[in-house]
Structure 1
Amino acid sequence: MSVRPRTWTTKGVEHHGWVADYVDGNGNRQRKQFKLKRDAMAFEKRAATEVADGVHIAAGDSITVQQAGEDWIKAKQRAGREQATIAQYRQHLDLHINPAIGHVKLPALTPVLLSKFEDELHDAGRSTAMIKKVMVSLGSIIANAQKRGHAVRNVVRDMRGLGNGADARAEKRARGKLRVGTDIPTPDEVKAILGALRGHWRPLLMTAIFTGMRASELRGLAWADVDFAKGQAHVRQRADRYNAIGRPKSEAGDRVVPLPAPLVNVLREWRLVCPKKDTGKRDANGEPVKVLDLVFPNGQGKVESLGNIINRGLVPTQMRAGVTVETAEIDEDGKPVLAAKYTGMHALRHFNASWLINSVKAGGLGLSPKEVQERLGHSSIVITMNTYSHLFERLDDGSEMSAAAAALLG
């Protein structure tokens, strides 16, 4: 192996550079050109170590980030990932990764290059959360390429240990804790919402409030999984944004949730008028055969869209209940236009979590963190505590602390 200077002329202009010349693990001679001698020497040193360890991949034998991305998408499809998840991966690849570094070969990826890539995403107006998702996808792309022998190191995952702990803490501080009355509906607001429920949105939103089920789980809930005798529902499936029915979000998502008696009664009534699914078959009289399938379908018995649930159910219900906020818009009388205070179904899930956590004295169930995790279907207790730890009752009461201090001093 050697590093030597190189001079060449292009259109009458003389150029100078440095070439790292070495033999790869297959006995083939390889050359890589650099502008600076120190870069060439650094590469030569790294290549020598990789060749000795039997893991070196020459640039000519590798593939670009874009090619690796396509292999990754196909691998995810073969693994049976949901259509919505594949679509998200495709967006990360086509909208963010390929335009910036899709042409770069995997061995050429460096921490400096990826830091610049992150800066460009930030300058383009991408949110911190989106940048994080894109980088996770990029790390997964390189990991898949490693398994196929196209890459030696995963630069993205190597970077995670370089100061990201402080970045994560700063991001968490900026995001702040979920606040009751801002992110989480108050008990009084939920009482008002319950009193304003109308029509077929009543059983759906009431179930969301009392079970904490995700919107996708509510949309995919089947009558076969509702046990009226035991007062519980088994979450076995969910509907993605393309209305495709699939498995729960995680293994922990497959769970049993209790149904309080008032909700059981509402669901019993709803079952009598719930739209049925057309099986595509005909009976002896030539009439369509329809069966009960989903608990909260649309008028045709098919999966209800999330947009309809929010825009036709959650938002109008809050407007009737007076759970609103003033907007910057002014009406013809010069008064601020009101809007629904909570714009997503996750607000009801947050309320359910707070209801599970609050003490019985405060009108809640007073469950332990582990029980809350199981009810909500979180894949890890860490998720539960990172999201809701501040809602659990603190035991270090001031009077108790004073008494303990007095005991130590006495």
Structure 2
Amino acid sequence: MAKIKKRSWANASGKHEAWQLDFTDRFGKRHREQFSLKRDAETRLGELQGTTRAGTYRALADKSDVAAACKAFCEYMTERADRKEKVTETYLRTTRQHCENYIDPLNEYVLRRPGIVRKDTINFKGGIGSIKLSDLTAARVIKFRDDMRKHGAGIVTTRRVLGTLSRILKHAVESDMATMNVAKGIRVIGTRDEDSERVTPPAKADLAALLKAAQPDFKIRIQFAAATGLRASEQWALKWSRVDLQAGKVTVDSRVDAFGNIDVTKSSAGMRTVPIGKAIVEQLAAWRDRSKQKENDGFVFPDSRGGFTRHTNYMKRNWTPLFIAADVEPIGWHALRHYAVSTWIEAGLQPKAVQTLAGHASYAITMNRYGHLFPSDDHQSAFDKIAATLAKTE
């Protein structure tokens, strides 16, 4: 039930009047709001009648701001991680960074584990942490997106931050903190070059130069990555129990993050079996013979202590210096995955097979990134025949 009534009072400064709106939400809790103009009170009454009838009114939305929603989401995801519910430490840290650097850079709200110190921020001034959830609109999120872009955030970063914000608001809706997820569906459109997903694999000559300059123990890691297309997190998590040298195949079903947490692959499509050629099988067999981690539960590519390879440190110590020794332009380790996919396409594998072997979640991902690499000879031949047929009709 909701009603509007006029209130009048007098004090030393004179006579005053206001319009008071009393209502009860769907949980039976009473609320009181005051307005200086009657029409504002009536507008608010209309909003409440619609939202309470639809069951969408959230009392907490009038009290909680975006920063509170961020905090609640971080706490929730931390609890899920503690319960081993497929939430990695890397995901938690990325979420906190998005909140600290962009969504609410002015507040110290993020739940941190002991010993984790906040790093310097990027000095972004367009945060939305202080906005009440009841006042947050799609238009305000769009302005937030545009402010990020003006500040210099790339299209990938902007998309990821908006994705984090959308998940935060989704959790807020589920927790009765917000009425709706206004960040859902907000698009980020970049320039033509910026928005392209097409990849360019490394040149064969450059890879040959890198392999020639690499030490034997590092060379096998590069060759394996360039042949199987495994992501770094998948390669460093690989154990001998998942390598079948007799059949010449590798089973991919796990990944490791920067903190040593072993988890399932990035998506269900990531769980796959990848064939390995005879030359790589022979090199892996020789590698296992001289490795200290020969047992089935040992890492195929361990660090010097027998544990998982810490990707960032390994790249700094081995990958980056290799470009100087090989005298080639630097590329990222992930480019080896692109190289593998390009060789599969060159060898004649069909797009669907490439999608499966690469562990892509959808066919669209494969074609958006690698479609331009598939041979077009058949297409050209078809158009030549069409043109020839039309020419005969002249």
TM-score category, normalised to shorter length: 0.7 to 0.9
SS, match of residue 233 in structure 1:
strand
For residues 75 and 57 of structure 1, what CA distance do their matches in structure 2 show?
20
1:254 matched residue in structure 2: 271
1:404 matched residue in structure 2: 386
- More displaced 10-residue stretch of structure 1: 379-388 or 104-113: 104-113
Task: Please give the per-residue CA displacement for 1:223-253, whole angstroms capped at 9, x wherever unaligned.
Answer: 1111110111111221111232222111111
1:309 matched residue in structure 2: 314
1:94 matched residue in structure 2: 100
For residues 203 and 41 of structure 1, what CA distance do their matches in structure 2 show?
73
Q: Is the 8 A contact 1:205 1:314 kept in 2?
A: no
1:281 matched residue in structure 2: none
- More displaced 10-residue stretch of structure 1: 120-129 or 212-221: 120-129
1:391 matched residue in structure 2: 373
SS, match of residue 401 in structure 1:
helix
1:56 matched residue in structure 2: 57
Normalised TM-score (structure 1) = 0.77
- Cα 1:7–1:179 change in 2 (3 A) is farther
Task: Please give the per-residue CA displacement for 1:79-131, whole angstroms capped at 9, x wherever unaligned.
Answer: 34011111111112233222333233322211232233223333433322222
* Identity value in percent: 29
1:275 matched residue in structure 2: 292
Is 1:174 aligned with 2:179?
no
- More displaced 10-residue stretch of structure 1: 312-321 or 344-353: 312-321
- Cα 1:57–1:268 change in 2 (3 A) is same
1:138 matched residue in structure 2: 165
For residues 357 and 234 of structure 1, what CA distance do their matches in structure 2 show?
21
**How far has the Cα of 1:302 moved from its partner?**
1.0
For residues 343 and 232 of structure 2, what CA distance do their matches in structure 1 show?
18
Question: Counterpart amino acid of 1:228?
Answer: L
**How far has the Cα of 1:369 moved from its partner?**
1.2
For residues 154 and 29 of structure 1, what CA distance do their matches in structure 2 show?
24
For residues 352 and 33 of structure 1, what CA distance do their matches in structure 2 show?
66
| Map 1:150-169 → 2, pairs under 5 A | 150-157=177-184, 159-160=185-186, 164=187, 167-168=188-189
2:73 matched residue in structure 1: 72
- Cα 1:272–1:57 change in 2 (3 A) is same
**How far has the Cα of 1:304 moved from its partner?**
1.5
- Cα 1:3–1:347 change in 2 (3 A) is farther
Is 1:294 aligned with 2:299?
yes
1:107 matched residue in structure 2: 134
Task: Please give the per-residue CA displacement for 1:186-227, whole angstroms capped at 9, x wherever unaligned.
Answer: 222223333333131011111001001111111111111111
- Cα 1:36–1:357 change in 2 (3 A) is farther
- Cα 1:58–1:7 change in 2 (3 A) is farther
Q: Is the 8 A contact 1:65 1:102 kept in 2?
A: yes
Is 1:372 aligned with 2:389?
no
Q: Is the 8 A contact 1:222 1:295 kept in 2?
A: yes
- RMSD after superposition: 3.5
| Map 1:7-26 → 2, pairs under 5 A | 23-25=24-26, 26=28
| Map 1:329-368 → 2, pairs under 5 A | 341-342=330-331, 344-358=332-346, 365-368=347-350
Q: Is the 8 A contact 2:61 2:178 kept in 1?
A: no
Question: Counterpart amino acid of 2:301?
Answer: F
Q: Is the 8 A contact 2:213 2:326 kept in 1?
A: yes
Q: Is the 8 A contact 1:177 1:387 kept in 2?
A: yes
- Cα 1:61–1:208 change in 2 (3 A) is same
For residues 243 and 13 of structure 1, what CA distance do their matches in structure 2 show?
69
- Cα 1:34–1:212 change in 2 (3 A) is farther
User: Gapped runs of 5+ residues in structure 2?
Assistant: 107-126
Of Structure 1 and Structure 2, the greater strand share is in 1
Question: Counterpart amino acid of 1:309?
Answer: Y
Q: Is the 8 A contact 1:276 1:300 kept in 2?
A: no
For residues 32 and 200 of structure 1, what CA distance do their matches in structure 2 show?
73
